[in-house]
Amino acid sequence: MEGEQVVSTPARLFGQGMGFPPQLDADSRVAWSVGPANVRESIRIILTTEPGERLMLPAFGAGLGRFLFEPNTVTTHRSIEEAVLQSLTRWEPRIKLDEVTVQPDAQDALAAVVTVRYTLVVNRATDQLQLRVRLGA
């Protein structure tokens, strides 16, 4: 309606969904994820999902499990970076990727740490997320 002001809530700007992992709130109802937290959870879900896991979206996910038996080398790290870039570009339109890096995990020789730096499209706030990926030899 003319003259009506639209209130921009985090849910309206970023979306909302059931929290992940699923849990109950203080009122014993399903907890919802709202705002920037919803975007972070979405990124984590995309990165930890294997293509084929979702019946209605068989191409969804980054497919990082395919690197489980790969060596912890620069070549493998570059392949992981490319998989992360492609999957987040395709499945998470609320962000602009600023940088994706993969480094050996200092605590575990059989793992690498993926760091995703991104900007939220709606308000240009920057954030980052880290995820450990198990590798082979």
Instruction: Express each pLDDT in 108-119 by its tens digit.
Output: 999 999 999 999
User: Tell me: the pLDDT tens digits for 64-108?
Assistant: 999 999 999 999 999 999 999 999 999 999 999 999 999 999 999
Name the fold adopted by 10-134: Nuclear Transport Factor 2; Chain: A, (3.10.450)
Residue 58 predicted with pLDDT over 70:
yes
What one-character-per-residue DSSP string does the chain give? -TTPPPP--HHHHH-EEE-SS--B-TTSSB-EEETHHHHHHHHHHHHHPPTTSSTT-TT-S--GGGGTTS-SSHHHHHHHHHHHHHHHHHH-TTEEEEEEEEEEETTEEEEEEEEEEEEETTT--EEEEEEEEE---
Residue 25 has pLDDT above 90, yes or no: no
The least confident of 18-27, 29-38, 46-55 is 18-27
What is the arithmetic mean of pLDDT over 20-41?
Answer: 75
Residue 9 has pLDDT above 50, yes or no: yes
Of the pLDDT bands very low, low, confident and very high (cuts 50, 70, 90), residue 29 is confident
Higher pLDDT, 6 or 74: 74
Identify the band that residue 7 occupies on the pLDDT scale cut at 50, 70 and 90.
very low
Statement: residue 5 has pLDDT above 70: no
Average pLDDT over residues 44-68: 95
Spell out the domain ranges in the chain: 10-134
Percent of the chain with pLDDT over 70: 77
